[in-house]
């Protein structure tokens, strides 16, 4: 693989704009190469201008080499100053407006600009300087951030250690006269000036020979409320956001868990910052060697020496912090087990497994074979014209379409994952998966195709069911196949053993629980993203309701759904079930409004209210009919469609920006073909109009049963949601890129008084 592609593949997606623009510089070098390959007769005449005079002026200030080479050393010959190509200088950069002083900017003076093609090389070095200054400034800013973060974590660890002592030994003194706070980032050797190496030496040693942390810190800190739990949410209604310390083991355990996660994320940020510095240094080395090769000059030595002496190479804060974080993590969170600590801090990269690809191919082949067998069976027995056609479509068909909806949704999600990965949308970070546990598109296809095989096999079995001519009842064992399949899926989902991607199943169940308990939990992106998926799976939820009715009241024995169709309670629940996903989103919007004071969440909640009104009126119309209900249903659905479509395209996707660099789209796009965005917007509008089949009474075509039409409309909504998923996460990713946000922000367990510093 060429370095350019390798360089891009190893970039942190959210920091991509801060890396050296290798492709741009390589383009400038290609222009220089093209110029040198031209015949001399076709080259433009060189005109001595500012560049030539600049070279002459610079040469006037060089040290005199001596007529007899008295400054030279014959034993170790050096390069003649007259053969120099560039002069690199570092200048102090003072910004009075921002109050920044002491930072350096680097400038390269090209000494051969009077030669043929020198103007192109001059442009190259200007671009090179711009990229290098950009990289150094970004790196310096990030180093300052991690140093401040390290100081914050030091105070947090002081509080945790003091809390441990207080809980394990309640009679311990809180006096700090004979103790000192032990920061995890302290350099115990104290060998050099470093911002985190300051430590107050204790007055005397403990008898056992080690330092005890000061309990004085507990007088200046409070325990932060865990606002993400239902219990704390209820408490926060009546109390302040900060809780006093009660010195119990539960507080210690919760604080340890939060600080442990904070250390993991901080270590991840340090690692990517270290990798950032290394990759950029390598990129500057590669581009300068490419320049030397194209121009047959020797400028790389001088420039790379400047790179080596710059802050990017000389700064060792990140390396020191990595060592101290690892040491502190192993000591305080892993009981000194370094192997365990390193496995936690540096998880192994996920590797593709060939058996996954093999089984995906097998399951898809089995699915196609079963589909052919089903079609052949239906055609051979002429089931589409049989007397039991309507009975089958009213009972068995809804039972199996539930699995069809799940499989289709998984296929759409697999497509999303594939394109997110291809275009480097960091979906793993956005969703908050643990490193190495995210499912690739092949794993998702494996689950979807496996469920497809089970479903199609059960459908083929149900086609062969025979009814007892005397009792006109079906064999209970065979009629329970759909229910058994549901139970298998549920058991696999909640299985506690480490099979079938346990980490992902647990993650899904946690998000589902947060949705059910809304608004008691703080709303994160995975929570409302999952709730949005359920708003597109209303028909699946209604099919689950049908399962309860069909098997709960024993209708499955005669393959008859009269109990469900003639029940008023069932009709009411039919409406309530459809409202639940949208109501969850309303509650989530209210919670986000209260937490973040974001006024747009109020409008978002209003959008879902309009959708609830549309869903309820359409459901009532399908049950009772009437011209008035038809007008009301059409009106509410039209308003909800306009509102939701606008929100999808403008708020969720960030498109339709009139004055953007890409007209009517947005400034930054991931997909190279802009027409895809316009096609997606048009498809979103068309697919959102699927509700019209309800109002316009397209319930049953001559060749299509009503339930089949409902299944098709529901499938179109799932496809629309799959398209929405891609662009929604693309917009979220670009927002993270704009803020250079590549690591999760973990809430810390303690808050301290303003101006308080670690003892």
pLDDT in the model for residue 172: 58
pLDDT in the model for residue 66: 47
pLDDT in the model for residue 83: 60
Torsion angle defined by CA atoms of residues 21, 25, 27 and 28, in that order, rounded to the nearest 10 degrees: 150
In sequence order, which residues have a C-beta less than 8 Å from that of residue 749 and are 6 or more positions away? Answer: 156, 159, 160, 223, 224, 254, 255, 258, 259
Residue 133: what are its φ and ψ, rounded to 5°?
A: -65, -35
Give the integer Cα–Cα distance in Å for 272 and 142: 11
Torsion angle defined by CA atoms of residues 449, 453, 459 and 465, in that order, rounded to the nearest 10 degrees: -170
pLDDT in the model for residue 198: 32
pLDDT in the model for residue 9: 86
Written as six digits, the tokens of 126 are 């200007």
pLDDT at 222 over 90: no
Over residues 207-221, the pLDDT tens digits come to: 444 455 667 777 777
**274 and 318 Cβ atoms separated by less than 8 Å:** yes
pLDDT in the model for residue 351: 76
611-649: burial string, b at 16+ Cβ within 10 Å, e else: bbbbbbbbbbbbeeeeeebbebbbebbeebbebbeebbb
pLDDT in the model for residue 516: 94
**566 and 577 Cβ atoms separated by less than 8 Å:** no
Higher-scoring residue by pLDDT: 444, 470: 444
pLDDT at 372 over 80: yes
**Which range scores top for mean pLDDT: 202-216, 476-490, 518-532, 701-715?**
518-532
Over residues 110-154, the pLDDT tens digits come to: 777 777 777 888 889 899 999 999 999 999 999 999 999 999 898
Reported confidence tier of residue 78, pLDDT bands at 50, 70, 90: very low
Higher-scoring residue by pLDDT: 46, 454: 454
pLDDT in the model for residue 474: 66
pLDDT in the model for residue 566: 82
pLDDT at 277 over 50: yes
Over residues 496-553, the pLDDT tens digits come to: 998 889 999 999 999 999 999 988 888 999 999 999 999 999 999 999 999 999 998 8
C-alpha distances (whole Å) from 537 to each of 33, 467, 721 are: 58, 33, 10
pLDDT at 108 over 90: no
pLDDT at 178 over 50: no
Helix (H) or strand (E) holding 602: helix 600-624
Give the integer Cα–Cα distance in Å for 645 and 643: 6
pLDDT at 274 over 80: yes
Reduced to 3 states (helix: H, G, I; strand: E, B; else coil), residue 665 is strand
Lowest mean pLDDT among 221-225, 361-365, 433-437, 643-647: 221-225
Written as six digits, the tokens of 666 are 């947005």
Give the integer Cα–Cα distance in Å for 546 and 544: 5
**Which range scores top for mean pLDDT: 84-88, 183-187, 682-686?**
682-686
pLDDT in the model for residue 654: 92
Lowest mean pLDDT among 193-202, 367-376, 443-452, 475-484: 193-202
Higher-scoring residue by pLDDT: 47, 658: 658
**107 and 52 Cβ atoms separated by less than 8 Å:** no
pLDDT in the model for residue 229: 66
Strands 221-224 and 242-243: antiparallel
Indicate the pTM of the whole model: 0.82
Q: In the predicted model, what is the mean pLDDT of residues 619-634?
A: 86
pLDDT in the model for residue 707: 87
Q: Mean of the per-residue pLDDT values for the chain?
A: 81
Torsion angle defined by CA atoms of residues 649, 651, 652 and 657, in that order, rounded to the nearest 10 degrees: 50
Q: In the predicted model, what is the mean pLDDT of residues 645-670?
A: 91
pLDDT in the model for residue 441: 94
Give the other-Cβ count within 10 Å of 328's Cβ.
22
Q: In the predicted model, what is the mean pLDDT of residues 289-315?
A: 88
């Amino acid at each position: 693989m060429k370095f350019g592609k390798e360089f891009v593949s190893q970039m942190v997606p959210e920091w991509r704009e801060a890396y050296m623009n290798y492709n741009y510089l390589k383009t400038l070098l290609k222009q220089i190469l093209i110029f040198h390959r031209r015949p001399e007769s076709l080259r433009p005449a060189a005109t001595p201008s500012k560049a030539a005079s600049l070279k002459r002026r610079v040469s006037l200030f060089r040290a005199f080499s001596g007529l007899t080479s008295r400054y030279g050393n014959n034993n170790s010959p050096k390069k003649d100053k007259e053969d120099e190509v560039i002069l690199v200088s570092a200048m102090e950069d003072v910004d009075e407006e921002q109050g920044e002083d002491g930072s350096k900017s680097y400038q390269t003076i090209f000494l051969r600009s009077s030669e043929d093609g020198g103007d192109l090389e001059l442009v190259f070095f200007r671009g090179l300087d711009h990229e290098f200054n950009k990289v150094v400034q970004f790196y310096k800013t990030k180093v300052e951030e991690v140093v401040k973060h390290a100081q914050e974590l030091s105070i947090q660890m002081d509080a945790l250690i003091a809390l441990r002592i207080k809980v394990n030994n309640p009679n311990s003194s809180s006096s700090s006269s004979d103790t000192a706070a032990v920061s995890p980032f302290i350099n115990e050797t104290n060998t050099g000036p470093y911002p985190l190496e300051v430590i107050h030496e204790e007055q005397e040693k403990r008898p056992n020979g080690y330092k005890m942390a000061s309990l004085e810190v507990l007088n200046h800190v409070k325990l932060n409320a865990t606002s993400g739990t239902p219990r704390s949410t209820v408490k926060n209604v009546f109390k302040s956001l900060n809780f006093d310390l009660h010195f119990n083991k539960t507080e210690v355990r919760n604080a340890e868990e939060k600080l442990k996660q904070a250390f993991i994320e901080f270590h991840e940020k340090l690692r990517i910052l270290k990798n950032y510095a290394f990759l950029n240094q390598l990129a500057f080395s590669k581009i300068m060697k490419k320049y030397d090769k194209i121009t047959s000059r020797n400028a790389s030595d001088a420039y790379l020496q400047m790179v080596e002496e710059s802050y990017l190479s000389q700064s060792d804060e990140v390396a020191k912090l990595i060592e101290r974080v690892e040491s502190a993590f192993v000591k305080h969170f892993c009981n000194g087990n370094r192997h365990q600590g390193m496995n936690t801090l540096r998880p192994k990269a996920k590797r593709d497994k060939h058996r996954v690809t093999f089984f995906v191919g097998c399951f898809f082949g089995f699915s196609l074979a079963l589909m052919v067998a089903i079609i052949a069976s239906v055609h051979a027995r002429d089931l589409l014209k049989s007397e039991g056609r309507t009975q089958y479509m009213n009972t068995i068909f809804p039972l199996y379409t539930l699995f069809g909806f799940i499989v289709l949704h998984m296929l759409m999600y697999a497509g999303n994952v594939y394109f997110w990965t291809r275009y480097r949308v960091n979906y793993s970070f956005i969703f908050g998966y643990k490193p190495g546990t995210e499912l690739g598109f092949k794993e998702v296809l494996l689950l979807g195709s496996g469920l497809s095989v089970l479903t199609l096999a059960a459908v083929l079995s149900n086609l062969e069911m025979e009814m007892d001519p005397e009792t006109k009842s079906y064999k209970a064992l065979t009629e329970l196949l759909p229910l058994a399949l549901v139970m298998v899926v549920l058991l696999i989902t909640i299985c506690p053993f480490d099979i079938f991607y346990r980490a992902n199943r647990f993650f899904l169940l946690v998000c589902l629980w947060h949705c059910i308990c809304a608004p008691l939990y703080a709303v994160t992106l995975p929570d409302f993203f999952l709730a949005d998926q359920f708003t597109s799976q209303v028909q699946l939820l209604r099919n689950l309701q049908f399962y309860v009715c069909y098997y709960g009241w024993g209708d499955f024995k005669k393959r008859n759904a009269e109990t469900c169709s003639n029940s008023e309670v069932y009709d009411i629940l039919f409406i309530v079930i459809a409202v639940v996903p949208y109501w969850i989103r309303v509650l989530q919007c209210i919670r986000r409004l209260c937490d973040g004071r974001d006024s747009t969440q109020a409008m978002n909640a209003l959008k879902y209210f309009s959708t609830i009104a549309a869903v309820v009126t359409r459901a009532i119309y399908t049950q009772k009919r009437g011209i008035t209900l038809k007008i009301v249903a059409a009106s509410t659905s039209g308003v909800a469609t306009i509102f939701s479509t606008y929100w999808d395209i403008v708020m969720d996707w960030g498109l339709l920006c009139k004055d953007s660099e890409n007209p009517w789209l947005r400034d930054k796009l991931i997909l190279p073909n802009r027409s895809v965005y316009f096609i997606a917007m048009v498809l979103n509008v068309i697919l959102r109009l699927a509700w019209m089949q309800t109002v316009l009474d397209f319930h049953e075509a001559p060749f299509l049963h009503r339930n089949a039409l409902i299944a098709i409309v529901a499938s179109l909504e799932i496809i629309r949601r799959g398209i929405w998923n891609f662009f929604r996460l693309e917009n979220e990713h670009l927002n993270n890129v704009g803020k250079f946000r590549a690591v999760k922000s973990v809430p810390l367990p303690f808050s301290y008084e303003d101006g308080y510093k670690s003892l």
